[in-house]
Chains A and B, each alone.
Chain A
Amino acid sequence: ETGVTQTPRHLVMGMTNKKSLKCEQHLGHNAMYWYKQSAKKPLELMFVYNFKEQTENNSVPSRFSPECPNSSHLFLHLHTLQPEDSALYLCASSQRTGMGGAFFGQGTRLTVV
């Protein structure tokens, strides 16, 4: 496999459920990101990991919990979400240094009911 892979592609969960989104990159990058894309809003950066260390948390509610066990894998653990959390969640990776672009996965379409 190449590129950035996200699973699942679609997820429907109740407000009391606990679920996790998974992201895996095969590009040899050392930085990984979670973005949220809601309808009619620009993409919002949620979390940044640099060599497995979290370097940025853009005031994201604690019901979203990221985990980065190594430079190739990134998780987003979800619990007690709200309907307004329904969105497309995109994972991306890039090289830490240099000005190359970030490469994105296909996203997980999350619906909270």
Chain B
Amino acid sequence: AQKITQTQPGMFVQEKEAVTLDCTYDTSDPSYGLFWYKQPSSGEMIFLIYQGSYDQQNATEGRYSLNFQKARKSANLVISASQLGDSAMYFCAMRPYSGGGADGLTFGKGTHLIIQP
């Protein structure tokens, strides 16, 4: 079984500052993927970034980067130069790689990020 822990229920950040959202995970699977999603008030889950457990380099997608520390089982999301539109719920998730199986994602409880002008 997998478990995702997000310890920050809510965060307030000043516009244009960088923000780090914490995520730790627990799994016995040797191969897995880690994901971050953004959920604005409209409800849609928006895929942001992905990191494979065997990837040597940290993933980056525009202003998003994933600080992957495998030994510590952490996969923090870093948003650079935050914008007002970044205000939303952010979810960390993982999926085991069972050799082709369509296993579903396990999600954390989320962090509510509010960007202040």
Interface residues of A (CB under 8 A from B): 30-31, 33, 35, 40-43, 45, 48-50, 55-56, 88, 90, 92, 94, 96-97, 99-107, 109
Contact = CB atoms under 8 A, between A and B. Distances in A.
Contacts of A97: 100
Interface string B93-117: 1010100111111111110000000
Contacts of B100: 96-97
Contact of A43 (B42, B47, B97, B107): B107
Contacts of B95: 99, 102
Interface of B: 4, 33, 35, 37, 42-47, 50, 52, 91, 93, 95, 97, 100-110
A56 B67 CA distance: 31
B91 A43 contact: yes
A92 B42 CA distance: 16
A104 B44 contact: yes
A19 to B, nearest CB: 18
Nearest to B42: A106
B7 to A, nearest CB: 14
Contacts of A41: 109
